Structure 1
Amino acid sequence: MKIQKFNLETEDLVELLCSNEWAFHSNTKIDQDAVRQAVKKGYYADGRETFWIIFNGQKVGIIIIEDIDDTIPLFDLRLTKNARGNGLGVKVLHWLKDYLYGEKNKIRIEGYTRADNLAMRKCFTNAGFVKEGYLRNAWENEDGTISDTVLYASIFEDWQQNKMTPTKLNEYPF
């Protein structure tokens, strides 16, 4: 696997995003013109960094790091259907931690996913992210339905010491 900076390869991005379904994202199908307009308006660059995920010489996904200037960025990870199930999600999350902690001096990384996205939840756990929250009715889907959301996070100290600190979900006796 290789991670490569997005350099306005608009038609490659249109192909990747529009020829795949994104079942666990708010927008399951993406419009080609919307992607072209987003690139033109700077969506993939302004306050963000976007990277290609390359596997066996093919662009099989993207990772968009949002709020890149903040000390606590969020991200959007998308792998094509054919790329899923190969362990790439975990590898990308390890790369993300190395990049954001090692090069960008971030203190925390947060990721949200729908509660029913079991594959992504497994990726988070296997990559050393800790489940920190379960948010009821917090994910609005394009079709008008609402799903529960799970929050996972990684902190700099855990990355630095190669450990996972458990959360204190029941620390108060209320």
Structure 2
Amino acid sequence: MIEDAVHAGTGRGDSEDREAGSLREVSWRGRRVALAPLDVDDAELVHGWRADPATAHEIGMWPRTLSAVRERIERDRDDHDRDDFLVLLPDGTPIGHIALTDQDLVDGTADIMLMLDADHRGQGYGVDAVDALVDLAFGELPMHRVQAVTHTTNSAALGVLARAGFVQEGVRRSACLHRGRRYDVAVLALLRDEWQALTRPRSWDLSAPAQ
């Protein structure tokens, strides 16, 4: 689920880059953000973001306990069909969680999810993070289709996905139950040839963002 209230390779060969001002190892870059692998020690951050009422509503889930979030991160870390990252600013400040999930290397499909800190929404970081992750999916992994889903009422997330090149394919009617109400869910996707047609620089063309 994308929310904006939204086997990592490296963009620099096999070298391990470190974000300025942070001890986090950066494995991939966007224009203004970097991606670092999510670890169990990040559970408190993720727990805090998910506890935000607007976030809980937009992604259609209720907040979990810190221990449950930690256990989920531990379980996901061993899941070879997904890759989870922290979204970092140039100074190393973590502002969100982004993931490429349900990776099917045979069919070349995967899903993308994004959750941003409330204080950093509406500033273009969501688009940058999504752009970076789809560059990973199509540039380093053999993906042909990357899919995203979100509530049809989540205009912020729909805007992020549209600016990243995703096309809305349809609506799953009454597909989500949340807080006693049924919600329609929009299905969006970006295909490899659509990604190739984008004129923006790719992650591997970018230098480290200035602080």
Residue of structure 2 in register with 1:101 after alignment: 138
RMSD of Structure 2 on Structure 1 (CA): 1.7
TM normalised by structure 2 equals 0.70
TM normalised by structure 1 equals 0.84
1:58-73, aligned counterparts within 5 Å? 58-70=93-105, 71-73=108-110
CA distance in 2, matches of 1:26, 1:119: 15
Residue of structure 2 in register with 1:87 after alignment: 124
CA distance in 2, matches of 1:118, 1:44: 31
Residue of structure 2 in register with 1:26 after alignment: 60
Residue of structure 2 in register with 1:17 after alignment: 47
Q: Displacement of 1:18 after TM fit?
A: 2.9
Residue of structure 2 in register with 1:162 after alignment: 198
CA distance in 2, matches of 1:94, 1:11: 26
The one-letter code sitting in structure 2 at the alignment partner of 1:136 is R
List structure 1 runs of 4+ shifted beyond 3 angstroms.
none
Match of 1:97, SS? helix
The one-letter code sitting in structure 2 at the alignment partner of 1:50 is D
Residue of structure 1 in register with 2:207 after alignment: none
CA distance in 2, matches of 1:131, 1:12: 32
Distance verdict in 2 for CA 1:116–1:45, change over 3 Å: farther
Q: Displacement of 1:102 after TM fit?
A: 0.4
Residue of structure 1 in register with 2:34 after alignment: 2
Q: Structure 1: which 5+ residue stretches go unaligned? A: 164-174
Q: Displacement of 1:93 after TM fit?
A: 1.4
Residue of structure 1 in register with 2:188 after alignment: 152
1:21-60, aligned counterparts within 5 Å? 21=52, 22=55, 23-40=57-74, 42-46=75-79, 47-55=81-89, 56-60=91-95
Residue of structure 1 in register with 2:13 after alignment: none
Distance verdict in 2 for CA 1:45–1:88, change over 3 Å: farther
The one-letter code sitting in structure 1 at the alignment partner of 2:72 is A
Q: Displacement of 1:37 after TM fit?
A: 1.7
CA distance in 2, matches of 1:129, 1:45: 29
Q: What does the per-residue CA deviation read over 1:141-163, in whole Å, with 9 as the maximum and x for residues that have no partner? A: 2x232211111100001111228
Q: What does the per-residue CA deviation read over 1:19-41, in whole Å, with 9 as the maximum and x for residues that have no partner? A: 5422311214232111122133x
Alignment length (residue pairs): 159
Contact 1:16 1:80 (8 Å CA) reproduced: no
Contact 1:18 1:31 (8 Å CA) reproduced: no
CA distance in 2, matches of 1:162, 1:130: 13
- Higher relative contact order (CA closer than 8 Å, sequence separation 6+): 2
Q: Displacement of 1:127 after TM fit?
A: 0.8
> Percent identity over the alignment?
25
